[in-house]
Amino acid sequence: MKIIRRFLDWLYLFSGVAAGGFLFAIFVLMLLLSAGRPLGLNVRSGDEFIGWCMVAVSFLALAHTFRSAEMIRVGLLIDRFSGRSRWFFEIFSLVVGTFFVGYFAWFAYKMTYFSWLINEPSQGVIVVPIWVPQSGMAVGLIVLFIAFVDELIHVLFGGAPHYEKPKPKTAEEAIEQAIQSPV
């Protein structure tokens, strides 16, 4: 079990690091586009590459964000419950979330696979097989699906949800959480 846990934690971290790599690629491309204009440097299809990188960043970061309890979560209903009833609502929420994420992951995979199968090209100046940029979305959703299944199993067996930060016990902890919060 420890090997599986280490692999899953590595998978979520790797997905987050890959998202960071695409974010850095956006920075470099934006810098080249902005600074290149006055210098006469033209980055062909730069806007398209930036758009594809943005998709990869968005989807690859989801699983790491979910497992790190950094995803915005609205608990208006579930926070009103405690004990066993809260556990049932957590399980229900995770089952619904797992279903929907699995549904989106399946269709993102099918779309990417079909694009690969027919060798569909992009429509830009630089022709790229469209399955290449679609892969960021498909892989990100598949990893998020794995994270949801992982979390569902963890909570089913009595573990505290990883996607929820523990409630502060003192005023100092509440202030510290508020300071560290990116929101």
Per-residue pLDDT of the chain (183 residues; tens, 9 = 90+): 789 989 999 999 999 999 999 999 999 999 998 888 888 788 888 889 999 999 999 999 999 998 887 766 666 677 777 888 888 988 998 999 999 999 999 999 999 999 999 999 988 788 889 999 999 999 999 999 999 999 999 999 988 887 777 777 787 877 777 777 665
Distance, CA of 144 to CA of 151 (rounded, Å): 10
pLDDT of residue 147: 95
pLDDT attached to residue 84? 87
- Separation between Cα atoms, residue 183 and residue 180, nearest integer Å: 9
Of the candidates 175, 153, 39, 42, the residue with the CA atom closest to the CA atom of residue 91: 153
Q: Are 161 and 77 in contact (CB under 8 A)?
A: no
Q: What is residue 37's DSSP assignment?
A: H
**Residues near 102 by beta carbon (within 8 Å), at least 6 away in sequence:** 145, 148
Phi, psi dihedral angles at 129 (to 5 degrees): -60, 125
Would you state the pLDDT for residue 182? 61
Contact indicator for 70, 182 with CB cutoff of 8 Å: yes
Q: How far is CA 50 from the centre of its chain?
A: 18
d(CA 141, CA 182): 23
User: Is the Cα dihedral 84, 86, 90, 91 positive or negative?
Assistant: positive
Beta bridge partners of 121: 129
Instruction: Mark out the alpha helices in 40-182 (DSSP H runs).
Output: 46-67, 83-117, 131-156, 171-180
For the entire predicted model, the pTM comes to 0.85
Residue 1 to residues 6, 7, 14, 146, Cα–Cα distance (Å): 9, 10, 20, 16
Q: Residue 127's pLDDT is what?
A: 86
- DSSP letter assigned to residue 36: H
